[in-house]
Structure 1
Amino acid sequence: MSSLQLPDGFLDVFTSRLVKVNELRLHAVTGGNGPALLLVGGWPQTWYAWRQVMPALAREHTVVAVDSRGAGLSDKPDDGYDAGTLAADLVALMAALGHDRFDVVGHDIGTWTGYALAADHPEQVGRLAVLEAVIPGLSPSPPFFGPAAASQKLWQFGFNRLTDLNEELVRGRERLFFGWQFATKAATPTTIPEYAVDVYVDAIAADPRALRASFAYYRALDETIAQNQQRSKTRLTIPVLAVGGALWSGPNAAQTMRLAADDVTGVVLDDCGHYPAEEQPARFVEILENFLAANR
């Protein structure tokens, strides 16, 4: 981590480690004291997406920011990218780290894993927070010929599910393809700094297996959707926080979670796009800590 741009004092608190779970090596950055808090990032990011909120959260929590299978420094097997398997990975990871019960925060596709964790492993998960949640199998599917604004936000779902062509088109153009995601989904094209985009893009471009794995979450959507349709038959009873950026998902994050949970607190962040933890870290920490403290 010493080569990364990090908040002052970060390396005094946090440790990077590889943990062997079920024949899989998962990378996690851990630190802090208090109840365990698992942070699950989105596509196409790594644990690094949480860097600005981790020091503040570590004052009250033992923070575990993970690279799920296929991401960052974690192993990149050929399969296992459905939400149920990803959730089982993280239960095993947390157990290996000594945490039998923990709270979960998920962003983007990390909300798919977060929902599966809460639904499939209720004895482990105390509270769930989701950022920018669009959860296949819960969220209504858009019409085939939807409004242009919806297509701008959701086109990658179809593209990422292609079998081979997407990899051929993106390979060698990773900075263009993934850089465009950050430039168009944040509040402004420069809200996510270039150094952070470089970290995310380099993690994919440096490993030929990483590009395939980045699409594998989407190629597994048929399985994830079927799982979520079953999960939704039993509503979540734990407290759920749903945060949306006003310039991206807005109130849809809370609307999505109300389809599956009884106790949902919805928050919309003004002047924020798709990346609340990076765009408004101080405000996000305040909202999350209030949620976690109120439900202890």
Structure 2
Amino acid sequence: MKAPASTSGASRTSGNPVGDLPLPDLAGFAHRWVDADGVRLHAVEGGRPDGPAVVLLAGFPQTWWAWHKVIPKLADRFRVLAIDLPGQGHSERPDISYDTHTVAAHVHAAVEALGVRTYWLAAHDIGAWVAFSLALKHPGRLRGLALLDAGIPGITLPDAVPTDPALAWKTWHFAFHLVPDLPEVLLTGREREYVRSFLEAKALSSDAFDDADVERYAASVAAGGGLSASLAYYRHAAESARANRRALERRRLAVPVLGISGSHGSIPDMAASVRPWADHVTGTVVPQAGHFIPDEQPGAVAAALTAFATEDRHGKRPAPKSPTR
């Protein structure tokens, strides 16, 4: 594996495969690029170098920036790594299968390239799709898995999109994204409008995202190959579902799992939806949150993750406390 790129001086963007995309900084955190089994992935790293590692994955239409309000709240206790998935943010947009088992292999390779052997994994939306598959493939490397408001293919994702308008707003895009070519025709040049409508429809709080956030995510989707890569996760969701089911025929999830739901999110009870496939599941519902829980209630998310990842001297984990903002 290649060594992580430095972030100092002229080498700050060394190895960046999406160099024309503005690169936001977060105080106290450094940008890294690593060769993750043939795909160059971007990570933002900081916190306590000697602390337990927490890896964060974001979903559509976001990037690692989805965690930027949560990361500083974890930094005092943990080594924190927020990784852009393939096709997302400042990671490469490769011509690969975007089924979640393939993507999980690249994400895990990135974590290893960053020198992490065991870690806690927290993921939202499509990031949670990848995280679930990663936990099935590498249970010995995970200390725990937190899944935030995600319909996971083959697990919690319904087989049919509801037609009731009261429910369809949560999942209508799954069918749209599956259509070959048409989404690209309709969305190219209109990424900003699409991203804004997506964020506003699924967030409970009207001030969860500002114009800079919308512009940042839209620019990522629009950057070379970003739109097609984003849609590819949906287009390969059926294969992700099949791979998940095949893996679950051999083993259940043995790692501790925390399901985090938003009070007004897409999945009312993440813990209940995952429990049939996992041995140790706890759950919490974050009040006053829609789908984008890390953006809407970062303090609650940080508190839940901290409680989940904190072990007492007997090796037991306290149940997550009722979160507050």
Q: TM-score range by the shorter chain?
A: over 0.9
Q: What is the deviation of 1:211? A: 0.9
Partner SS state of residue 232, structure 1: helix
Alignment of 1:41-52 (within 5 A): 41-52=58-69
Of Structure 1 and Structure 2, the greater helix share is in 1
Q: What is the deviation of 1:193? A: 1.9
Partner of 2:18: none
Partner SS state of residue 293, structure 1: coil
Point out 4+ residue stretches in structure 1 off by more than 3 angstroms. 1-6, 142-146
Alignment of 1:110-129 (within 5 A): 110-129=127-146
State how far apart, in whole Å, the 1-side matches of 2:172 and 2:102 are.
25
Describe the superposition over 1:19-67 as per-residue Cα deviations: whole angstroms up to 9, x where unpaired.
Answer: 1122211000011221111101111111111111111212111111011
**Percent of aligned pairs with the same amino acid:** 38
Partner of 2:216: 199
Number of residues of Structure 1 aligned to a counterpart in Structure 2: 291
**C-alpha spacing 1:60/1:18, structure 2 compared with 1 (3 Å):** same
Among candidates 184, 190, 197, match of residue 180 of structure 1: 197
Among candidates 170, 180, 187, match of residue 170 of structure 1: 187
Q: What is the deviation of 1:252? A: 2.9
Q: What is the deviation of 1:287? A: 1.2
Partner SS state of residue 116, structure 1: helix
Q: CA RMSD in A?
A: 1.9
Among candidates 40, 56, 65, match of residue 25 of structure 1: 40
Q: 1:245–1:269: 8 Å Cα contact kept in structure 2?
A: yes
Partner of 2:164: 147
Partner of 2:228: 212
State how far apart, in whole Å, the 2-side matches of 1:24 and 1:192 are.
30
State how far apart, in whole Å, the 2-side matches of 1:144 and 1:104 are.
29
Are 1:74 and 2:91 counterparts? yes
Partner of 2:322: none
More deviation, 145-154/13-22 = 145-154
Partner SS state of residue 74, structure 1: coil
Describe the superposition over 1:151-182 as per-residue Cα deviations: whole angstroms up to 9, x where unpaired.
Answer: 11100111111110010000111111111110
Describe the superposition over 1:197-236 as per-residue Cα deviations: whole angstroms up to 9, x where unpaired.
Answer: 111011122x231111110111111210101112333211
Q: What is the deviation of 1:144? A: 5.4
Partner SS state of residue 203, structure 1: helix
Partner of 2:125: 108
Q: What is the deviation of 1:86? A: 1.1
5+ long unaligned stretches in structure 1: none
5+ long unaligned stretches in structure 2: 1-6, 13-21, 318-325
Q: 2:161–2:172: 8 Å Cα contact kept in structure 1?
A: no
**C-alpha spacing 1:148/1:27, structure 2 compared with 1 (3 Å):** same
